[in-house]
Structure 1
Amino acid sequence: MDSENTQTFLRPRARLMSTLGEELISNERVALTELVKNAYDADASLVVIRFNGPLEEGYGSIEVWDDGHGMSPETVRDTWMEIATPFRHRAPRSEQFGRRVLGAKGIGRFSAARLGAVTAIKSRKAGGREVNIRLDWSDFAAENAYLDQVPVQWNVGAPEVFADNGQARRLFDEVTSAFRASEKQSAWTGSHGTLVRLEGLRQDWGAESVESLKRSLSRLLPPPPPAELDVPDQPEFAIYLSLPAGPLDHHTGFVGASEALAHPHYRLIGTIDENGLADLTMTNLTSGQSETLNQYLFPSHGKAPKCGSLKLDLRTWDLDSASLKEMLNIDLGARNITEVRKLIKDNSGVALYRDGFRVQPFGEVDFDWLGFDLRRVNNPTMRFSNNQVAGFVYISADGNPGLRDRSHREGLIDSSEYEDLKGVLTQAVSRLETWRYGLRRPKGEGRESGPITVDNPSGAGSDRHGLFQNFTLSPVRDVLNAKYPDDTELSRALEEAQEKIDESVEKVQEVLSQFSRLATLGALVDVVLHDGRTALTRIAYVLRRLNKLAGRKRDEDEQLASALTKMHVDLTAQEQALDRLFTRVEPLSGRRRGRPRALSLQAAIDEAVAVHEGTLEKHGITVTVSGEDVTVTADPGDISQVVHNLVGNSIYWLSTLPKGKERAILIETRRTPEDEVDIDVSDSGPGVREEIQEMIFDTYFSDKEDGIGLGLSIAGSVVKDFYDGDLSLVTPGPLAGATFRARLRRRVG
């Protein structure tokens, strides 16, 4: 040890195996998926997952059978026995069908440790001998043992399970007797493939866990892509689930996509290339209306996305009772609207497919990676909730190299490429939301009208919050379903009663939404600001405690700490969004409004623009204030509020322009011959698209991907209520983008 050049070597303990298997893989569903992916990489056409009871912790077993090419003794010794083997880096395509393989790190095979205490493997390559491997994972738990001190039992013998007309052949013939996935399968003799048997289950498998597994497996491969998408034909690959006789045996059968996915109300299909140019088609399947979208989507303020090109098939539903009632005429296996809603929810989520196979956990019901629910909180009138969207996004390992899996097989590594992927997809979804809003908006509605009826995203009031959370018959329904499950007349009567309650609640919500806009000016704003800021103070305190807790737990439980940290980031973003909203509303407070006084209009405008000085500099935006410097009698806060909102909108849209484009804002003031005063705010941005020009003054309408839709409404309220004026869109304006005119008719002498 006295020598400076002494060398030593890392020597892993045997318990590394349990770390790789039991702890690295987050849950049993993901572990089974890893085994299915292994079968896919082995060119299997059919995988049978057979559960053998009792399905209780410490008992029973799970078998994963496949008809892939199997392993030779040499493959087991030189590849399977190597942890983190680079084999797949050297051979990224499967040996028979040339599939782009899904495994790359060489550790997925150890996911079996998550499922059972013992793993027994039988495998045979065509024409070769049968290999038998047995791993008792408890052998690797000894604290003092090193990995190279724990032997793995294996032997090679004459074919038995994968012999011609052996047990594998008989099992597959039984499974495919009523359905054959291909002519190839009917010719298979059972002379090659792999069986992984997991004994001594690590968990109980009940109805909920089996249903969750089935949903997850059903989305491993996407449904047939639309003809408009040039997606390579999906590899021939089927999954069959076999459950023992009893309460779970109705889950036995081939795993497939739900019929509900074939009947969305809206669909968004198309491509986004590596430069962010979108070629998308939006369709309303109910009316047959469609619209094409050809424009650049820039997630990083004018920079082309780094994620690479992708293909998109997004399907969404309206969740109001009238829209769902029509779906009862389709054979979905649903008896009433509540069951239709549940069916849609169970198949919701945006899935990500790399080379035809799903990346976990994208597409899981509770994995809202695009933040649909967060966006809906900010703008419930326009935005989708996660449980009304089912999406299929197609990428490839070669075309999207920056999108890489995490080691634990859950999600993608956080990177600028991943952020850009979320950015372009969110912008694409925002275009569909805007188009849908226009279709659902009552004809002739203007900014004086209330917003369109808001969807009840959870159905039958089951997940309402706050004031409306108790307007549900769910407790009664649960009792009736338990006592009278076959009484369809009673079930229908209850459903009709719930529909009437839902419709009445929606009308009340609409009235309150209308009132909330009118109440932005007056005493109610004082109450909102007081109670809201009090709540924010409490939220901020709780968030600080949450962050400290995450720090303390990091050494004990990294997964929990990461979850707490993510929760802290998400909630902090919402707290800041609310604080910004309160700041924007604050000038309208009756208590805070100052006494109107004579002031220079342009001086008031300069003060309002100064608030944005840092943001203007960041995006290279120039602001020019010109025209007649009119003297008006006004509260400086009113002028600030109007200019602040209009300039803020201009800044946002100018920031989306590609680099090199002119970014300018022109503010002009003048007194008209009718002794009125105009404030025109013009910019060189993309302008207001013609199809949404009638909607932009609607309360809660926003074309920004994360917009709340109150800026123009608040500015318009100030102009109208205090100065008997109006706020309008002027076309054409002095600059190429949008021009808004605030006309003041009172207190302008």
Structure 2
Amino acid sequence: MFRITARTVLELGSELISSDIIAFYELIKNGFDAGTKAGVDVRFDIALPRRAYLKLVEKIGAGGSAEENKEAAAAALLHTASDEALEGFREAIAAATSRRSLLDNLAEAQKRFNRIIVSDTGSGMSRDDLERNFLVIGTASRKREVEAALKRGDAQTPYLGEKGIGRLSAMRLGERLRVETARADETHLNLLEIDWRAFGDVDAMLDQIPVAPTAGPAKPSETWSGTSIVISDLTENWTQARVTELTEDDFARLTDPFADASTRPRIAIYWNGDRVAVPIMPTALLEAAHAKVSGTYEIIDNAPVLKIVAEALDLGFDHPQEKQMITLTVDDLQGAIIGKEGHIEDSALTTVGPFSFEAHWYNRRRLSGIDAIGEQRAVREVQERWSGILLFRDRYRVYPYGEEEDDWLELDRRALRRSGYTLNKTQFIGRVNISRIENPLLVDQTNREGLRVTPEQHVLLQVIRYSIQDLLAAFLKDVEKQYKQQKIDLSDAQEQVTRLEDRAKTAIRKLKRLTPPEGDEAIEDLQQTLLEFSEFAANARQRIAEVEQESRQMIEMAGVGLMVEVVAHELARASENALKALASLKGKDVPERLRAHFATLQAEMKSVSKRVRILDPLSVSGRQRTEIFTLDELIADTVEAHEAQFGRHKINIVLDRPSRPVRIRAVKGMIVQILENLISNSVYWLDMRADREPSFKPEIKISILGGPPTITFEDNGRGIAPENRDQVFKLFFSLKDTRRRRGLGLFIAREAAQHNNGTLSLDENPSPETGRLHRFILELPLGAEQ
């Protein structure tokens, strides 16, 4: 059988409890798990901080008389510490007879009388509890009860912790531990003392370290129950400033700060007897957000449903408060969260369980004073203090999500690559709520540094990222597109303003030469008007520059189009050269096995060549030119160019051509682009359904009609939810997985249709089979037909 060395306990403690706040968190959770009604108190009783002690040691070591050093030691004590701590230090100082003994006495006092006490008034522990549970690392008692609650379907878990390693948290904070505890039906305290240094003996086995509970003095009162964890021989330098900082940054967010303050679990922090205020997040700060997104992920009839609400409240330009509500069902979530080549099973969309989230976004440059908080600077400081999107399980924090150095939603990484709104983590205040009962497969790593990497964890992360990075970002850009740019004409705007200003100045100079002295007052009024106009012109120039900066995204899209032209040219040349090389092999002494491969390759290259030729009208040089062409022939050529692709994906094509050719005048490249985007989307969603339904036979049906020229394009894939009928055409809205998510195809396709005075819409009649929308309709004006 295995034997465990004593130092293994030290290794476990250092590995599993990775920071001071995690240590406090575990000790505090234990108090609430014990059923405390009055909350948990954390008391720092520090008579001589570690840094002051080390300076004192240095001073004493440098020389001086015993009395001088003893006076210096007494003067270094913090008189706000408890009487017990101060008395202990003073006795140690008074008993010293030399510099050596003073150093020794101070070292011992430092270990004994500087303490951190975490106390609760919960159920307490008997000596048997200490023996059977507290001293059993990894005890299964709580885990059994949690699992039983899960099986029963209880509304709430009985315990926050269940791994049985929380008692190692005390080791992180100090080398000595004293447990003082009792149950309500007991008369005396039960004591347990541990010196963690004893576990450092490299030769000692765990069972050789004597640790056992003992009987203690009488309880404070007859009915009292609870536990005090007394930690001494502290390993860190604790000062009032550090405790205050820890309280403001960590203790304040240990439990859900969005919850009503009266319902939050009480955690009281004390520095040398004085209460340290735990900040409460002001509701006025949330009300001052410039935008927000919230959502609920529910499991309804054993299927997931994600409901997202995005709100644009004040984006810095005139616009009404806009709200967008989006509902995604299992078909949409399989595409957006799992994807075509997803490495996790669809079942994780259900087994993740229900959760909720909210994120409030701030443009920090535009934050102004708030009556309930203060001036602009104070508001910015408060917003920064509470910034981050935190994760809470049953109202208690899951670390490290939301920490300053943690970018669990990859907001900063994405912001560096995004134009427009930079949705980085410091601009958000938010939370995600999960529970142990509802989300049993979202469990902490043993070292408390985040959730274990599981399919369910992947779903949680991807849903939150998608809601913020994609849907909120797209929504804000859509609001901007609607209201910020609609009344601004950028054509020669800067030159126009400058030209008008110069004309006015020239006119005034001429007037001054022509006007008699009695007309000077009128000229001065005119000059003042010009000054006001010049100020307006300067503001206009600045606004024009801003709008041009915001329009860079469209310029970049044009750059992508140019790149497509270059690549298309190279691909055409390469494909033609390959075809020639393959053709030259005909009739030569080539093994049969290679001939079959060459035949396949030749077919593929012919398809590529056709595809490139079809794409040629998309080039920047030819894209805006209208011409007369036969619509049904163009569609047939486009479909033929995809022949190899359709073959690979086993997609059946039904092309319903009219009895007579439909000739139209339009921009040929734009019609091709519309078709290409529709085909690309169909192939993706048909694959999604085929992967999940082995007997499914994918099909695309294209029909062409005249009078007016109309194309209907439909497939039998996943379809689109009726409530998202208009959303799919919006810029950057996409339900594809992260690798393919662009949200440009249908937006550009509709723009192309409108450029040709036509419309591209999604038929509002759902399929009887799926209840979703499958048919796109491209209708050109009657006058386009030739």
Question: TM (normalized to structure 1)?
Answer: 0.63
Letter in 2 for 1:120: R
Residue 513 of structure 1: aligned partner: 553
Residue 128 of structure 1: aligned partner: 187
Distance in 2, Cα, partners of 1:79 & 1:68:
16
Residue 567 of structure 1: aligned partner: none
Residue 21 of structure 1: aligned partner: 13
Residue 159 of structure 2: aligned partner: 101
1:739 aligns with 2:776: yes
Distance in 2, Cα, partners of 1:125 & 1:307:
40
Residue 124 of structure 2: aligned partner: 70
Distance in 1, Cα, partners of 2:45 & 2:541:
46
- Evaluate the alpha carbon distance shift between residue 16 and residue 734 of structure 1 in structure 2; reply closer, same or farther with a 3 A threshold: closer
Distance in 2, Cα, partners of 1:278 & 1:43:
35
Letter in 1 for 2:298: I
Distance in 2, Cα, partners of 1:198 & 1:74:
25
Distance in 1, Cα, partners of 2:160 & 2:277:
25
Displacement of 1:524: 11
1:272 aligns with 2:298: yes
Residue 511 of structure 2: aligned partner: none
From 644, 648, 654, give the equivalent of 2:680.
Answer: 648
Q: Which runs of 5+ in 1 are unaligned?
A: 1-8, 165-187, 227-232, 451-498, 531-584
- Evaluate the alpha carbon distance shift between residue 438 and residue 210 of structure 1 in structure 2; reply closer, same or farther with a 3 A threshold: same
Distance in 1, Cα, partners of 2:163 & 2:196:
21
From 317, 325, 337, give the equivalent of 2:361.
Answer: 317
Displacement of 1:330: 3.8
Distance in 1, Cα, partners of 2:542 & 2:145:
57
- Evaluate the alpha carbon distance shift between residue 103 and residue 254 of structure 1 in structure 2; reply closer, same or farther with a 3 A threshold: same
Distance in 2, Cα, partners of 1:445 & 1:63:
61
Distance in 2, Cα, partners of 1:373 & 1:655:
33
- Evaluate the alpha carbon distance shift between residue 146 and residue 612 of structure 1 in structure 2; reply closer, same or farther with a 3 A threshold: farther
Cα deviations across residues 612-649 of structure 1 (Å, max 9, x unaligned)?
A: 766x56xxx75544436989999999887654433333
Q: Is the 8 A contact 1:729 1:741 kept in 2?
A: yes
Q: Is the 8 A contact 2:622 2:669 kept in 1?
A: no
Cα deviations across residues 504-555 of structure 1 (Å, max 9, x unaligned)?
A: 985453142343344444489979x99xxxxxxxxxxxxxxxxxxxxxxxxx
- Evaluate the alpha carbon distance shift between residue 262 and residue 204 of structure 1 in structure 2; reply closer, same or farther with a 3 A threshold: same
Kindly report the root-mean-square deviation, in angstroms, between the aligned alpha carbons of the 2 structures: 5.3
Letter in 2 for 1:115: L
Residue 641 of structure 2: aligned partner: 607
Distance in 1, Cα, partners of 2:7 & 2:616:
59
1:137 aligns with 2:176: no
From 27, 39, 43, give the equivalent of 1:35.
Answer: 27
Residue 492 of structure 1: aligned partner: none
Distance in 1, Cα, partners of 2:148 & 2:698:
55
- Evaluate the alpha carbon distance shift between residue 601 and residue 275 of structure 1 in structure 2; reply closer, same or farther with a 3 A threshold: closer
Letter in 1 for 2:202: E
Displacement of 1:68: 2.2
SS at match of 1:728: strand
Displacement of 1:720: 9.1
Displacement of 1:88: 0.8
Distance in 1, Cα, partners of 2:744 & 2:616:
13
- Evaluate the alpha carbon distance shift between residue 412 and residue 600 of structure 1 in structure 2; reply closer, same or farther with a 3 A threshold: same
Residue 116 of structure 1: aligned partner: 174
Displacement of 1:109: 1.1
Larger Rg computed on CA atoms = 2
- Evaluate the alpha carbon distance shift between residue 190 and residue 733 of structure 1 in structure 2; reply closer, same or farther with a 3 A threshold: closer
Distance in 1, Cα, partners of 2:380 & 2:412:
17
Residue pairs, 1:719-738, within 5 angstroms:
728-729=760-761, 731=763, 736-738=773-775
Distance in 1, Cα, partners of 2:724 & 2:485:
14
From 702, 711, 714, give the equivalent of 2:745.
Answer: 711
Letter in 1 for 2:32: Y
Residue 486 of structure 1: aligned partner: none
SS at match of 1:394: strand
Mean CA deviation greater in 256-265 or 353-362: 256-265
Cα deviations across residues 678-730 of structure 1 (Å, max 9, x unaligned)?
A: 665434544376677388354x4556675333334555788899xx7877335
Cα deviations across residues 71-115 of structure 1 (Å, max 9, x unaligned)?
A: 2222111211111111112444999x9962111111111022222
Residue pairs, 1:529-568, within 5 angstroms:
none
- Evaluate the alpha carbon distance shift between residue 611 and residue 370 of structure 1 in structure 2; reply closer, same or farther with a 3 A threshold: farther
Residue pairs, 1:87-486, within 5 angstroms:
87-92=141-146, 100-126=158-184, 127-152=186-211, 154-159=213-218, 163-164=220-221, 192-202=226-236, 211=245, 214-223=248-257, 237-243=265-271, 252-254=276-278, 256-259=280-283, 262-263=286-287, 264=289, 265-266=291-292, 268=294, 270=296, 272-273=298-299, 274-278=302-306, 295-297=328-330, 299-301=333-335, 303=346, 305-319=349-363, 321-322=365-366, 324-325=367-368, 328-332=369-373, 334-336=374-376, 339-374=378-413, 376=415, 380-381=419-420, 384-426=423-465, 429=468, 438-443=478-483
Distance in 2, Cα, partners of 1:622 & 1:216:
59
Q: Is the 8 A contact 1:14 1:140 kept in 2?
A: yes
SS at match of 2:167: helix
Distance in 2, Cα, partners of 1:638 & 1:444:
27
Q: Is the 8 A contact 1:68 1:194 kept in 2?
A: no
Cα deviations across residues 344-385 of structure 1 (Å, max 9, x unaligned)?
A: 343234433333333333444544434444555665557844
SS at match of 1:222: coil
- Evaluate the alpha carbon distance shift between residue 447 and residue 102 of structure 1 in structure 2; reply closer, same or farther with a 3 A threshold: farther
Distance in 2, Cα, partners of 1:405 & 1:441:
42
Q: Is the 8 A contact 2:295 2:308 kept in 1?
A: yes
Identity rate, percent: 23
Q: Is the 8 A contact 1:526 1:591 kept in 2?
A: no
Displacement of 1:308: 4.7
Displacement of 1:143: 1.9
Residue 557 of structure 1: aligned partner: none
Q: Is the 8 A contact 1:345 1:365 kept in 2?
A: no
Q: Which runs of 5+ in 2 are unaligned?
A: 55-109, 150-154, 315-319, 339-345, 491-538, 571-614, 768-772
Letter in 2 for 1:113: M
- Evaluate the alpha carbon distance shift between residue 501 and residue 637 of structure 1 in structure 2; reply closer, same or farther with a 3 A threshold: closer
Cα deviations across residues 19-73 of structure 1 (Å, max 9, x unaligned)?
A: 2111222222212111111111112232222334455479754332222222222
Q: Is the 8 A contact 2:6 2:206 kept in 1?
A: yes
SS at match of 2:350: coil
Distance in 2, Cα, partners of 1:147 & 1:505:
72
Mean CA deviation greater in 284-293 or 104-113: 284-293
Q: Is the 8 A contact 1:216 1:364 kept in 2?
A: no
Displacement of 1:607: 2.9
Question: What is the number of equivalent residue pairs in this alignment?
Answer: 587
Distance in 1, Cα, partners of 2:203 & 2:540:
68
From 627, 644, 649, give the equivalent of 2:657.
Answer: 627
Name whichever structure is richer in helix by fraction: 2
- Evaluate the alpha carbon distance shift between residue 640 and residue 438 of structure 1 in structure 2; reply closer, same or farther with a 3 A threshold: closer
- Evaluate the alpha carbon distance shift between residue 235 and residue 135 of structure 1 in structure 2; reply closer, same or farther with a 3 A threshold: farther
Displacement of 1:424: 4.2
Letter in 2 for 1:238: R
Distance in 2, Cα, partners of 1:447 & 1:727:
23
Q: Is the 8 A contact 2:173 2:231 kept in 1?
A: no
- Evaluate the alpha carbon distance shift between residue 275 and residue 339 of structure 1 in structure 2; reply closer, same or farther with a 3 A threshold: farther
Letter in 2 for 1:512: R
Letter in 1 for 2:226: H
Distance in 1, Cα, partners of 2:193 & 2:128:
17
Letter in 1 for 2:276: T
Distance in 2, Cα, partners of 1:211 & 1:608:
63
Displacement of 1:314: 0.9
- Evaluate the alpha carbon distance shift between residue 21 and residue 396 of structure 1 in structure 2; reply closer, same or farther with a 3 A threshold: same
Letter in 1 for 2:277: G
Residue 687 of structure 1: aligned partner: 720
